[in-house]
Structure 1
Amino acid sequence: MGILENKVAIVTGGGSGIGLAVAFSYAKEGAKVVVSDINEEHGNQAVEQIKANGGEASFIKADTSNPTEVEALVKETAKIYGKLDIICNNAGIGGEAALTGDYSLESWRRVLNINLDGVFYGCKYAIEQMEQNGGGVIVNMASIHGTVAAPMSSAYTAAKHAVVGLSKNIGAEYGQKGIRCNAVGPGYIDTPLLESTSGDVKDALIAKHPIGRLGKSEEVAELVLFLSSEKSSFITGGYYLVDGGYTAV
């Protein structure tokens, strides 16, 4: 029996990268997984892979920057599986690269809409459902840039710092209601988001990690899985790094 047996979980941005790895890990440990993504092809492929490996999953398309769609995602999950135990608010984007004074208003708003507002919507509507269950777990995907700067990416840094604060607040507010909330801070992970990065830039990123390489999505998923399970039952309001030592120096 897996550590998430009989649990129902949502993973936003679950069609690729870290979200896909989280969805796979949840399913492997017995959870019924709702994969949510704006990319229907990727989301449906993820569900097919989970089912092919003996897991149970469904795909629900949702744009996390749209509160109506996020609310519908949570309600549809509860309709399909009867409850919601876990949500991993993972969906996010990098945004444009520019000095803060040159950062476009359009890009600033788009990054904040997805990376912060989208996480808030996921938390808000999941909490409403989890209160009906008598408890649940929220894991929010922050970043190393929830604690250190990302020059040329002020919107991303601001959003990820805010996700850490939001997670702490929820942990403090809902602990007595049986709802735990934590944030995860990955370093640079070898995902599709980095595919367009030039070799020199990628080498420079690797050099910032004392462990000497980029991280793997599966390594982040292991931490998310732990925080989503009863193995972390006394952990809430925290922010946990999986960064190859990036923030240590």
Structure 2
Amino acid sequence: MSPASNLPGPHPGRFEDQVAIVTGGASGIGEATCRRLVAEGATVVIADVNEERAQALAAELGPAARAQVFDAADVKSIERLVLGTVERLGRLDVLHNNAALSAPDIHRRDNNAIDIEFEVWDHVMAVNLRGYLAGCKYALPTMIAQGGGAIVNTASTGGFAGDITRMAYSVSKAAIIGLTRQIATHHGKQGIRCNAVAPGLVLTPGTRGAAASVIEVMQRHLLVPEFGEPEDIAALVCFLASAEARYINGQTYIADGGMLAHNPTMADLVDMARRGG
């Protein structure tokens, strides 16, 4: 039995009569969030650059799900996504900014301040940061006019701690944490709640393909028995988007199995103690 199967089930009706957009919604955390939102009563627009996968998921989820292809690096594409959703469905209650650049070629070239090409830096920022700003920019007027709405951004533990790889990615995720606070500060009194989730390593189809040695190293530093699944993050996203979180605004919730909660040498010290060192 997978850890995700032990999660409490969806809350039927929690998003009844609400409309949600999930970017990067056709796989991983986005897919799990779409599934949960539909199970909880929302009408969900699955926005993804992979049209075929988005269409397949929408067909599986039924009439409460709609697929729309979009490009997170293209501001006009995001504008069409948001305004088109409002035009077709009449409202927008939840925006889950979740799309992120996942091209292996970009990840390989996203290295350090000396070697990174500005083309790579700009591309990462366009998708991971400007795309989130654009989603907020076009969603906010509708949400404000209807009396409120919830925005949940996907950040990362990479936004809190330095690493030896993917510098632009980490910086973009740190900026999302700041963007989240800004949106909440500017528009909280208008009924807008903007929060973020910062996952650690989550066993999406992409991360399952990582080297076993990397997985093993990271697992030593967890403070829970197992890695998280996309459903763990989806449960947190849906809570933050729901009325149950009405008193939470401008916050970033780390969901990393306790990875950042302890002294970074903890796992090595435990091993030393076991050896009697």
Fold-level match, TM-score > 0.5?
A: yes
What's the Cα RMSD here?
A: 1.3
Structure 1 distance, partners of 2:211, 2:123, is: 24
**More moved, 145-154 vs 14-23:** 145-154
2:16 corresponds in structure 1 to 5
2:116 corresponds in structure 1 to 103
Pick from 215, 219, 223 the counterpart of residue 232 of structure 2: 219
Confirm whether residue 175 of structure 1 aligns to residue 183 of structure 2. no
- What SS does the aligned partner of 1:88 have? strand
Counterparts of residues 74-85 of structure 1 (less than 5 Å): 74-85=82-93
Pick from 54, 63, 67 the counterpart of residue 59 of structure 1: 67
Confirm whether residue 166 of structure 1 aligns to residue 179 of structure 2. yes
Amino acid in the other structure paired with 1:219: D
Pick from 211, 222, 232 the counterpart of residue 209 of structure 1: 222
2:3 corresponds in structure 1 to none
**More moved, 55-64 vs 65-74:** 55-64
Residues 100 and 153, structure 1, Cα contact 8 Å, conserved in 2: no
Pick from 234, 244, 266 the counterpart of residue 231 of structure 1: 244
Confirm whether residue 88 of structure 1 aligns to residue 99 of structure 2. no
Structure 2 distance, partners of 1:49, 1:143, is: 29
Pick from 154, 157, 161 the counterpart of residue 170 of structure 2: 157
Structure 2 distance, partners of 1:151, 1:82, is: 46
Structure 1 distance, partners of 2:145, 2:25, is: 25
Distance 1:183 1:190, change over 3 A: same
Structure 2 distance, partners of 1:215, 1:108, is: 29
Distance 1:106 1:195, change over 3 A: farther
2:32 corresponds in structure 1 to 21
Residue 84 of structure 1, CA deviation: 0.5
Residue 214 of structure 1, CA deviation: 2.1
- What SS does the aligned partner of 2:196 have? strand
2:44 corresponds in structure 1 to 33
- What SS does the aligned partner of 1:101 have? coil
Residue 41 of structure 1, CA deviation: 1.1
Counterparts of residues 108-187 of structure 1 (less than 5 Å): 108-187=121-200
Pick from 230, 252, 257 the counterpart of residue 244 of structure 1: 257
Residue 195 of structure 1, CA deviation: 4.0
Structure 1 distance, partners of 2:121, 2:209, is: 21
Which runs of no fewer than 5 residues in structure 1 stay unpaired? none
| Identical residues among aligned pairs (%) | 37
Distance 1:119 1:166, change over 3 A: same
Please identify runs of 4+ aligned residues in structure 1 that moved more than 4 A: none
TM-score (norm 2): 0.85
- What SS does the aligned partner of 1:27 have? helix
Amino acid in the other structure paired with 2:92: L
Structure 2 distance, partners of 1:108, 1:213, is: 33
